[in-house]
Amino acid sequence: MKQSIFILLIFLWGNLVNAQPEIIPKPSQLQTAPGEFTLGVKTTISAPVDNQWGKVAEMLSSRLTMATGNKIKTVVGKGNISFEVSKDAMLGEEGYHLMANKKGVVIRAQTAKGAFYGMQTLLQLLPAEVYSAKAVSGVKWTVPFVTVKDVPRYGYRGLMLDVGRHYMPVEFIKKFIDLLAMHKQNQFHWHLTDDQGWRIEIKKYPLLTQIGSIRHETMKGHYTDNKYDGTPYGGFYTQDEIRDVLKYAADRYVNVIPEIELPGHALAALASYPNLGNNPDRIYKVGTKWGVYDDVFMPREETLKFLEDVLTEVIDLFPSKYIHIGGDECPKTQWEESRFAQDLIKKENLKDAHGLQSYVIKRIDKFVTSKGRRIIGWDEILEGGLSPNATVMSWRGTEGGITAAKENHDVIMTPTTHVYLDYYQADPKTVKQPVSIGGHLEISKTYSFEPTPEVLSPEQSRHILGVQGNLWTEYVKTPAYAEYMLFPRGIAVAEIGWSTKENKNYEDFSKRLEVHKKRLDYLGVNYFGAPINDQFEYVWPVKKNVK
């Protein structure tokens, strides 16, 4: 009998020791040990004497103070929670090493960015209430004894937000950035212009926002209903607002990649400056219908100069290495019917209208490269010949990415099949959801995506920079609606980008996600499956012991 009890205790102890904390994205290596470190009123935080490291320590201090109600101070010297510079070159720019024992918590990294990601893991080791915007009483603030060594699989891990179709306020953009950072994603692709709206102030061309940011009405219901609301719609970001967002993002180690669509998806720009189009005498209007328009930029020198001027202001604003220039869904009808375009094709010895698109992309690539930056384009930029310095964003499946990688071009994988987050999240016939563009993409399928195709050689595979999820907003009118579509599928995208292929397991991810949803609840995130009202807006759950 005694022996049986002893065996049972050993079994229970082993399960306790081996219990894994619910961290998302899953770390590369994690070991647990019995015991826990408790935060108290005397807990302090220390960091190297450096501005960036100090900011990370202050962010942690602010979050812990807010949730616990205790003033968790930063100190010079050794704190109970200490950030330290690591000599481990294997950690790279974004990796970290976290150790929690009876003495406290140590987070080591080679850079402040790595320390920031270590902080994100530390927060997830604490109770979910740590994400509360108000002090929460009755919580035992403990960190389990763990050792974590963690580095990301891919260098590019991001989400795209389309604000061309529906403008999103700056306050929400910042919340979006916070959620990217929480999940260790480092790229915010900001889709700023489209047929239905121009959302960025350009000083040299004020009509882009005076005219191009406003459409006179918006489609009501689904595209197939062909109904309109009759209400003008607009909005744009001033350059000062953009600078504010960029500073906010930089403090959270999120790079912001602006997208200026060309040579297609140009109707908002043409409504502002009709001389840039194929029919300068035409009265263009900002698009009110979803979909693709035949109206595209005419590649005259005048137009190319306009695009260079716009990109000059964009580059002066955004420090990003990459500038996204679109390049997708550019109908060739107007070029095929234009004497000027056909003469230009002959003059430049181009094969056809696809070659003319390549001509435009190469001209823009040369200009952007001269400014010390690099272009990203959707996979249509492969048509007619790929520009030498271009990075391809493969959205029509993975084939474009495979082709580009085999030609030694960098690639970001973002296929509609797995990471287009404007699709329904469950079968709309059985689960009530807000109207969406169509399709049906459950989180399990998103999570199953493998960004590096097996057909690529090890050398070619190095050109797969990472993965991105995309939210197009034709039907997404509000921040709450955007959150509902983004999460939790965007979290699956985060784990795809960070965690190793061997570490991925959907059943395990689902288990961790259930705990993670409690964190999202405290952050007021309107994720699919959260408590919502008939407008699909978040309803704050009743919480006990909240001051």
Helix axes 51-68, 112-125, angle to 10 degrees: 10
| Whether pLDDT at 141 is above 70 | yes
Average predicted confidence (pLDDT) for the chain? 94
> Which whole number is the average pLDDT over 154-166?
98
pLDDT band at 15 (very low <50, low <70, confident <90, very high): very low
Query: Is the CB of residue 473 less than 8 Å from the CB of residue 419?
Result: no
Q: Which of 150, 162, 194, 259 is catalytic?
A: 194
pLDDT band at 8 (very low <50, low <70, confident <90, very high): very low
Give the separation between CA 357 and CA 360, rounded to whole angstroms: 5
DSSP symbol at 20: P
Report the b/e string of 299-321 with b at 16+ CB within 10 A. bbeebbebbeebbebbbebbebe
- Is 194 known to be catalytic? yes
Higher pLDDT, 228 or 544: 228
pLDDT band at 537 (very low <50, low <70, confident <90, very high): low
| Whether pLDDT at 5 is above 60 | no
Domain regions of the chain by residue span: 2-150, 156-504
Instruction: Residue 263: name the closest of 159, 206, 333, 210 by CA.
Output: 333
> Which whole number is the average pLDDT over 275-302?
96
- Give the pLDDT score at 386: 86
- Give the pLDDT score at 246: 98
Give the separation between CA 475 and CA 219, rounded to whole angstroms: 9
**Which amino acid, one-letter code, is at 81?**
I
pLDDT band at 335 (very low <50, low <70, confident <90, very high): very high
> Which whole number is the average pLDDT over 157-164?
98
**CATH superfamily assigned to domain 2-150:** Chitobiase/beta-hexosaminidase domain 2-like (3.30.379.10)
| Whether pLDDT at 540 is above 80 | no
- Give the pLDDT score at 115: 98
Q: Is the dihedral of CA 332, 338, 342, 348 positive or negative?
A: negative
Give the separation between CA 494 and CA 492, rounded to whole angstroms: 5
> Which whole number is the average pLDDT over 513-536?
87
Give the separation between CA 238 and CA 503, rounded to whole angstroms: 43
Radius of gyration of the CA atoms of the chain, in A: 25
- Is 337 known to be catalytic? no
- Give the pLDDT score at 473: 98
Give the separation between CA 374 and CA 325, rounded to whole angstroms: 10
Instruction: Residue 44: name the closest of 58, 33, 31 by CA.
Output: 58
- Is 422 known to be catalytic? no
- Give the pLDDT score at 385: 86
Query: Is the CB of residue 401 less than 8 Å from the CB of residue 464?
Result: yes
| Whether pLDDT at 441 is above 50 | yes
The CATH code of domain 156-504 reads 3.20.20.80
| Whether pLDDT at 12 is above 80 | no
| Cβ-based neighbour number of residue 538 at 10 Å | 20
User: pLDDT > 90: what percent of the chain?
Assistant: 90
Give the separation between CA 523 and CA 540, rounded to whole angstroms: 10
Q: Which of 84, 308, 329, 537 is catalytic?
A: 329
Higher pLDDT, 55 or 2: 55
- Give the pLDDT score at 387: 83
**For residue 491, what are its two tokens?**
């979290």
- Give the pLDDT score at 542: 42
Q: Which of 183, 265, 324, 463 is catalytic?
A: 265
**Which amino acid, one-letter code, is at 412?**
I
pLDDT band at 539 (very low <50, low <70, confident <90, very high): low
pLDDT band at 16 (very low <50, low <70, confident <90, very high): very low
